[in-house]
């Protein structure tokens, strides 16, 4: 991939179907590039489904906010409510030099209202204070406009519904139609390269760079 895709002191969105490769990219590409303190909100309830990288040295894995320390941490919260997420974001909002990763972001963000006021503050004003965010979602059309507009780096993994592809095509470019077999695309998109499993279309909104890759 181009070096223009590896500077991640900015806000990031990863979207795609279940099992498309979002968490894999977080591990292989995004967290290594970020390097610094990161808190991952991971509302998965089974500890055998946590990403493997959190078992490595330097990661705290916690279930309750009172155990959470500044550094590299994944929280798979016992309480995954909006209220608990708000408390999590409130703590992050008082810090600087931190990346907040939110999995299942559509649940906490919402299309019409960011349900957590502290997360809304981070989304709209975190970056100048050194708090960046990574939103991971399966349903991009459910994400609030502030997320869609605030992301500099967009990683679009596979979708299989034309409605989602239409939406993502407007956002990151027509290459996303490559996630469908050619015979299921509109004629105008049939010439585009068919994308293999786990690939993604990347768009950098600042530089207007677009590309297709697979890790």
Ligand X SMILES: Nc1ncnc2c1ncn2[C@@H]1O[C@H](COP(=O)(O)OP(=O)(O)OP(=O)(O)O)[C@@H](O)[C@H]1O
- How many Cα atoms occupy the beta-carbon half-sphere of 80 within 13 Å? 16
1, 7, 19, 113: residue in contact with ligand X (rule CB under 6 A): 19
Interaction partner, residue 18 (Mg ion, ligand X, none; CB < 5-8 Å by kind): ligand X
Q: Is residue 23 at the binding interface for Mg ion, with CB under 5 A as the rule?
A: yes
CA atoms within 13 A on the CB side of 20: 21
The residue ranges of DSSP E strands in the chain, in sequence order, are: 12-15, 38-41, 60-62, 72-75, 98-102, 131-137, 153-156, 199-204, 209-214
48 Cβ partners below 8 Å, 6+ apart? none
**Token pair belonging to 92:** 């992050």
Binding flag, residue 215, ligand X (CB under 6 A): yes
102 binds ligand X (CB under 6 A): no
168 binds ligand X (CB under 6 A): no
Shortest separation between residue 154's beta carbon and Mg ion, angstroms: 17
Query: Among 24, 59, 107, 189, which residue interacts with ligand X (rule: CB under 6 A)?
Result: 24
| Residue 199 touching Mg ion (CB under 5 A) | no
111 to 140: interface string for ligand X, x by CB under 6 A: ---------------------------x--
């Amino acid at each position: 991939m181009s070096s223009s895709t590896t500077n991640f002191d900015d806000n990031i969105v990863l979207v795609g179907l279940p099992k498309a490769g979002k968490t894999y990219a977080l591990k292989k590409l995004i967290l290594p590039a970020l390097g610094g303190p990161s808190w991952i909100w991971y509302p998965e309830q089974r500890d055998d489904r946590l990403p493997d990288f959190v078992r490595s040295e330097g990661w705290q894995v916690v279930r309750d906010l009172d155990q959470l320390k500044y550094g590299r941490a994944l929280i798979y919260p016992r309480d995954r409510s909006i209220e608990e997420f708000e408390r999590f974001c409130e703590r992050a909002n008082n810090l600087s030099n931190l990346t907040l990763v939110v999995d299942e972001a559509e649940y906490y963000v919402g299309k019409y209202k960011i349900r957590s006021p502290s997360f809304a503050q981070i989304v709209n004003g975190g970056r100048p204070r050194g708090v960046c965010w990574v939103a991971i979602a399966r349903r991009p059309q459910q994400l609030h406009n502030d997320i869609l507009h605030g992301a500099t780096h967009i990683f679009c993994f596979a979708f299989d519904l034309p409605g989602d592809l239409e939406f993502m095509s407007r956002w990151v470019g027509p290459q996303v139609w490559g996630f469908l077999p050619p015979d299921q695309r509109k004629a105008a998109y049939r010439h585009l390269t068919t994308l293999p499993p786990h690939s993604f279309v990347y768009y950098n909104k600042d530089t207007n760079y677009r590309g297709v890759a697979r890790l």
